[in-house]
């Protein structure tokens, strides 16, 4: 009993912001150095943007180019995303590049992150500048920038948890998702964006419960809105939270309305100025892939029902974004967790929504819940629409460029709209559950990254011919009972020929090349590669699995990561059927390789 009382006393005294740091700091520090360089989505372009800012190049040139030292650019080639995704990684690559100095020669290189606000790269730039003063090697400089980004972001979230009067566990839950830590421990400006929006939300919640707002309070709210909601374009919808402030907190209702209009106007003006500075042609040519964005805008205006259907189908009802929000690590699709992991996280997360913290100082009103739910819907719609206009082909029925991680901060709003509705309260048990949930995510994420990148070195490439089997348009038994061994395959797309590749037990990947110029190896949008595997006493079963395929070398070479695919289905892969589509010509498949 004495031991239980001591544990209870410790938990009573332990504050949630310190619980967060207790988990997030070691996890983030490990991931800064555990995740190979440039293996976070878009990390190379964010790295170059931060490097430019460290040289006081706050805006890129007219071609979105930044001056970068030659051996810093070479660092990206050493840790090539495509090669590492194929399993071509060894810790020795890191060891061999820890020495050296930054090259005196430089060249200009394009960065798609140029249109972003420099504020989102201040921590990374400080890390780069500090490590350059100490004459660190290029690789050490890279890690220093990651480290500074992590520390600054954790501090923002620490203070958000500290000052928020309600829902401290909600901030912790979202901040400790594998995808959140993945961003915090990288060069991505998504890290500071999430931290800034969390802190702004906490500031508004804190001041919304005050009886009166002083001039100092209003100045703090104003500065917070300008600094914390403009880190990355498209998140100014969080300003709707200003409606949490009540007219009764002001001397006059006129002062209340004037304050709201002033804050919104200042933020829109700042947004316009930042866009002009970072991209002078943004009105005529906004950032994005070369699409006709005027045509997209007209399509949305004159086809609102069709566009609403696209939003509902491709965004709000798309389970892929839930997975990405929780965590698909590496560059976009490389490192997925088993499906059961995502289910467990969702179930565990529901506890934080249902169970209210006894330390909460007030409960959200129905009006506040409605406001915050509306803000979530508008924010998700705005992010999706921006990408539909700037990154998606005209009149497309899908939205390109959208990633689940963009919704981490908006989901905070969604959860708060339902938080505490059931009025179930807890204190000690909730803290225990928070610790179990947090450390569970911590250990499993680190374990997954380690086993994928470090436990198994599959650097030996063994080109083979006898694992490639081709028997088009025959039943499965015939395909595997009458094996035809060939090294090069000529396909006639009119016959809808498929390719069956038998998988050796110890294979970790396969790749092949194609002579076709216009070919897609999987149907739009994600498609599938058919996977056969043995279960239930060797009974053969079939599954439409989305394989981890990667187009390489101008899209005429392809790779499937079998090591990860085996872990996803938790079973031995028997064979894979590859289905070529959208080719208007006969073509050859050649140079098959099995990776061990």
Pairwise CA distance, residues 377 & 412, whole Å: 12
Residue 591 lies in a domain: yes
If one counts the domains in the chain, the total is 2
**What are the tens digits of pLDDT across the range 497-512?**
455 555 566 666 666 6
Query: Is there a contact between 338 and 570 (Cβ–Cβ < 8 Å)?
Result: yes
The per-residue pLDDT for 560 is 65
Q: Which domain holds residue 407?
A: 6-451
For residue 19, being part of any structural domain is answered with yes
Indicate if 67 and 129 belong to the same structural domain.
yes
Q: At residue 373, does pLDDT exceed 60?
A: yes
Q: Which two tokens stand for residue 361?
A: 């100082």
Is 1 within the bounds of a domain?
Answer: no
Q: What does residue 436 show for φ and ψ, rounded to 5 degrees?
A: -65, -45
Q: Is 116 a domain residue?
A: yes
* Same domain (yes/no): 120, 234: yes
Answer whether residue 456 is part of any domain.
Answer: no
CATH code of the domain covering residue 553: 2.60.120
Structure tokens belonging to residue 583: 């080719």
Pair 442, 477 in one domain = no
Cα distance between residue 200 and residue 221, in whole Å: 8
Name the residue among 154, 140, 188 with its Cα closest to residue 329.
188
pLDDT at 549 exceeding the cut of 70: no
Q: What pLDDT sits at residue 185?
A: 96
- At residue 553, the 3 state secondary structure works out as coil
pLDDT in tens, 569-594: 555 555 555 555 444 445 555 555 66
Q: Give me the pLDDT at residue 487, please.
A: 34
- Residue 139 counted as domain residue: yes
User: Do residue 427 and residue 576 come from a single domain?
Assistant: no
H helix count then E strand count, the chain: 22, 17
Q: Give mean pLDDT, residues 291-306.
A: 82
Q: What is the pLDDT of residues 307-353, one digit of tens each?
A: 999 999 888 888 888 989 999 888 765 677 888 999 999 999 999 98
β-pairing, 424-426 vs 355-357, is parallel
Tokens matching residue 246: 């009540």
What is the chain's mean pLDDT, rounded? 77
Percent of residues, the chain, with pLDDT higher than 70: 72
The span from the CA of 244 to the CA of 205, in Å, is 7
- Of the ranges 276-285, 430-439, 511-520, which is most confident? 430-439
Q: Please check whether residues 426 and 493 belong to one and the same domain.
A: no
8 Å CB contact between 525 and 546: no
Residues 286 and 143 placed together within one structural domain of the fold: yes
Give rounded-to-5 percent helix, strand, coil for the chain.
55, 15, 30
- If one compares 414 and 115, the residue with the highest pLDDT of the two is 414
| Claim to verify: residue 178 and residue 251 sit in the same structural domain | yes
Closest CA to 444 of 181, 195, 79: 181
- For 82-91, how does the pLDDT look when each residue is reduced to its tens digit (9 = 90+)? 667 655 677 8
The Cα angle at residue 391 between residues 282 and 125, in degrees rounded to 5 = 60
Greatest mean pLDDT among 98-102, 169-173, 364-368 lies in: 169-173
The verdict on 331 and 384 lying in the same domain is yes
Highest mean pLDDT among 151-165, 248-262, 450-464: 151-165
Q: Please determine, for residue 274, whether its predicted confidence score (pLDDT) is greater than 70.
A: yes
Burial category of 354 from C-beta neighbours within 10 Å (exposed 0-12, middle 13-18, buried 19 and up): middle
Chosen domain end from 419, 451, 483: 451
**Residue 572, beta-bridge partner list:** none
pLDDT(301) > 60: yes
Same domain, 477 and 439: no
| Span 182-231, pLDDT tens digits | 999 999 999 999 999 999 999 999 999 999 999 999 999 999 999 888 88
List pLDDT tens digits, range 398-407.
887 888 999 9
Domain-ending residue, one of 451, 472, 491 = 451
Count other Cβ atoms within 10 Å, centred on residue 400.
Answer: 16
On whether both 381 and 314 belong to a single domain, the answer is: yes
| pLDDT over 50 (residue 544) | no
262 and 331 together in one domain: yes
User: What burial letters (b/e) apply to 442-470, b meaning 16+ CB within 10 Å?
Assistant: bebbbebbeebbeeeebeeeeebeebbbb
Show which of 420, 451, 482 is a domain's final residue.
451
Query: In a 3-state reduction of DSSP, which class is residue 278?
Result: helix
Give CA–CA dist 50/57, Å, rounded.
Answer: 9
The reply to whether 362 and 488 lie within a common domain is no
Higher pLDDT, 233 or 152: 152
Q: Which residue has the higher pLDDT, 126 or 356?
A: 126
Measured between alpha carbons, how far is 83 from 80 in angstroms, rounded to an integer? 5
Quick one: pLDDT band at residue 470, thresholds 50, 70, 90? very low
């Amino acid at each position: 009993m004495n031991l239980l009382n001591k544990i209870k006393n410790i938990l009573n005294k332990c504050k949630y912001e310190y619980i967060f740091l207790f988990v997030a700091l070691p996890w983030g520090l490990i991931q800064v150095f555990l995740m190979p360089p440039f293996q976070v989505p878009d990390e190379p372009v964010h790295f170059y943007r931060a490097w430019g800012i460290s040289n006081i190049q706050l805006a890129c040139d007219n071609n979105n180019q930044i001056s970068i030292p030659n051996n810093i650019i070479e660092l990206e080639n050493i840790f090539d995303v495509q090669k590492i995704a194929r399993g071509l990684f060894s810790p020795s690559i890191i060891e061999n590049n820890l020495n050296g100095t930054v090259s005196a020669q430089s060249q200009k290189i394009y960065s798609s992150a140029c249109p972003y606000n420099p504020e989102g790269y201040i921590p990374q730039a400080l890390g780069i500048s500090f490590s350059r003063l100490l004459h660190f090697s290029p690789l050490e400089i890279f890690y220093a920038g990651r480290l500074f980004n992590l520390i600054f972001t954790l501090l923002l979230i620490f203070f958000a948890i500290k000052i928020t009067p309600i829902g401290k566990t909600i901030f912790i839950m979202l901040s400790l998702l594998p995808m959140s830590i993945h961003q915090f421990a990288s060069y991505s400006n998504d890290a500071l964006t999430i931290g800034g929006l969390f802190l702004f939300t906490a500031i508004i919640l804190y001041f919304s419960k005050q009886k009166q707002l002083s001039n100092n309070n209003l100045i703090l709210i104003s500065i917070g809105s300008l600094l914390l909601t403009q880190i990355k374009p498209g998140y100014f919808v969080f300003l709707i939270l200003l409606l949490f402030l009540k007219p009764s907190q002001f001397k006059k209702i006129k002062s209340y309305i004037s304050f709201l209009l002033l804050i919104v106007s200042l933020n829109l003006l700042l947004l316009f100025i930042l866009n002009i500075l970072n991209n002078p042609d943004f009105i005529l040519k906004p950032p994005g892939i070369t699409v006709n964005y005027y045509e997209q805008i007209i399509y949305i205006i004159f086809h609102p029902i069709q566009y609403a259907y696209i939003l509902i189908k491709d965004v709000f009802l798309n389970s892929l974004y839930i997975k990405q929000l929780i965590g698909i690590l590496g560059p976009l699709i490389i490192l997925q967790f088993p499906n059961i992991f995502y289910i467990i996280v969702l179930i565990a997360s529901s506890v934080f929504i249902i169970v209210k913290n006894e330390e909460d100082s007030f409960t959200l009103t129905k009006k506040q819940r409605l406001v915050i739910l509306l803000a979530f819907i508008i924010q998700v719609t705005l992010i999706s629409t921006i990408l539909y206009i700037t990154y998606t082909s005209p009149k497309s029925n899908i939205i390109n460029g959208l990633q689940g991680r963009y919704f981490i901060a908006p989901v905070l709003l969604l959860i708060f709209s339902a938080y505490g509705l059931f009025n179930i309260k807890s204190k000690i048990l909730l803290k225990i559950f928070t610790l179990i949930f947090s450390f569970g995510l911590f250990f499993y994420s680190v374990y997954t990254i380690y086993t994928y990148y470090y436990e198994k070195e599959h650097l030996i490439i063994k080109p083979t011919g006898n694992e490639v089997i081709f028997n088009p348009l025959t039943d499965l038994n015939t395909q595997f009972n009458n094996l035809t061994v060939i090294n090069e395959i000529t396909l006639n797309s009119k016959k809808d020929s498929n390719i069956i590749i038998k998988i050796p037990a110890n294979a970790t990947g396969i790749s092949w090349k194609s002579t076709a110029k216009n070919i897609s190896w999987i149907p739009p949008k994600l498609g599938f590669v058919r996977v056969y595997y043995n279960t239930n006493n060797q009974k053969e079963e079939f599954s439409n699995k989305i394989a981890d395929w990667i187009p390489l070398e101008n899209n005429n070479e392809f790779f499937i990561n079998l090591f990860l695919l085996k872990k996803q289905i938790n079973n031995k892969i028997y064979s894979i059927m590859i289905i070529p589509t959208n080719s208007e010509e006969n073509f050859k498949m050649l140079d098959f390789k099995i990776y061990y």
